Structure 1
């Protein structure tokens, strides 16, 4: 049995724009409902959602038949959490709140088996198709993709050193936490925050790494794409549900 190809990683390497949807609803039913909507990738979040490895497992299973890539965000840059999601079959991880190159190197190490890293070895996981992928341990790294999240003023000062760490496949800018870090909590659209995000995207592209972002602001999403983001999340499932149902209620004057 062959190792599944990571189409998201291939697309980034080829410079093809990938439009994504952020999934904070932990259910597999919701994940399957949006899997066929036409997005290139879905982000299954466990940092700011009730999600955990077991709910992510169900989501990965639900979307597997669809032409969409799954990206998983662990709750933190934790070696054990990273190992568990990789063993579940996640091939692309977005690691939140990295502050420096050492933390980026730790994330890289967690993605790889020894002697290149510290990922624990198990031959009977979903990632190995329960032992059916011949040579999985030797080939796994070819299809794994590590995205790191930069979202504070301190991290932006070290952006080049973080992005340049070997094994980092892309850098994601987090506008919400960045806004808080810059003194504008709850205001990701503040001019200072917008300027910092745009500058960061340009700097990441100069280094030659793919840049990513999440923004439900359609105009700003298009602006980020024009500047150079290659993986761009443009909506959040919870936001679509909450705002969409509110809009429908208003049409019928529901108080």
Structure 2
């Protein structure tokens, strides 16, 4: 069997804008519904949800028939967590809270087999299609896409160093955590935060490194896209559900 192609990674390398949706509700039915809504990618979040590897493998199976690229966020930059998600078949990971080039190198090592990395080797996993993908151990990294999340003032100060770590395929900005780090908790669209992120997107553009972002502020997302962001998450499943439910109830007030 052939190694599955990572269309999301290929699109980023080609400079194609990818519009995504955040999936935080740990239910494969929600993931399946969203998978058929026309987004280029969807985030399966295990950091700020109760989902774990068992749920992720269910999500990945559920969305596989749909033309959408699943991205998985582990709870931390942990080689143990990352190993489980990769063995489950995840090919694109967004690793949170990267503070330095050294932490980015640790994330790269976690997705890479020895001798260059520390990913544990298991030949019969969903990732290898249970041992049927020829030469998986030597070819896996061709299709693994590693995104790292910059979400603090300290990380922004080291953005160039983080982005230039070999093996990092993209850098994602987290406005909510950046706002808290800058002293504006709960204000992800504060002008200082927006400027810092837009400046950061420009820095990444100069380096040729894809930039990504999630925000519920659609005007800000359009600014980010104009600035050069390539992978843009435009909403969150739980937020969409609540806003729609509140709006429909208001119609009957």
Q: Same fold (TM over 0.5)?
A: yes
The equivalent of 2:202 in structure 1 is 202
Aligned: 1:149 with 2:114:
no
Distance across 2 between alignment mates of 1:189 and 1:63 = 32
Aligned to 1:14: 14
Cα deviation for residue 162 of structure 1 reads: 0.3
2:130 paired with 1:130: yes
In 2, are the aligned partners of 1:170 and 1:211 still within 8 Å (CA)?
yes
> TM-score, normalization: structure 1?
0.98
How far did residue 218 of structure 1 move? 1.4
1:179 aligns to what SS in structure 2? helix
State the partner residue of 1:81.
81
Whether the aligned pair in 2 keeps the contact of 1:98 and 1:149 (CA below 8 Å) is yes
Aligned residue runs from structure 1 range 215-226, under 5 A: 215-226=215-226
Deviation at 1:196, TM superposition (A): 0.6
1:63 aligns with 2:88: no
Contact 1:27/1:58 (CA < 8 Å) preserved in 2? Answer: no
Residue matched to 1:189: 189
For residues 85-134 of structure 1, give each alpha carbon's deviation from its aligned partner in whole angstroms, at most 9, with x where no partner exists.
00000000000000000000000000000011000000100000000101
Q: Distance in 1 between matches of 2:228 and 2:49?
A: 28
Q: Distance in 1 between matches of 2:194 and 2:11?
A: 26
Runs of 4 or more above 6 Å deviation = none
Measured against aligned partners, the alpha-carbon deviations of 1:66-94 in whole angstroms (never above 9, x if no partner) come to 00000000000000000000000000000
Equivalent pairs counted in the alignment come to 253
**2: distance between equivalents of 1:121 and 1:210?**
29
CA apart distance, 1:204: 1.1
**Where do 5+ consecutive residues of structure 1 fail to align?**
none
CA displacement, residues 166-212 of structure 1 (integer Å, 9 cap, x when unaligned): 00000001000000000000001111111111111111111110000
Give how far 1:220 is off: 1.1
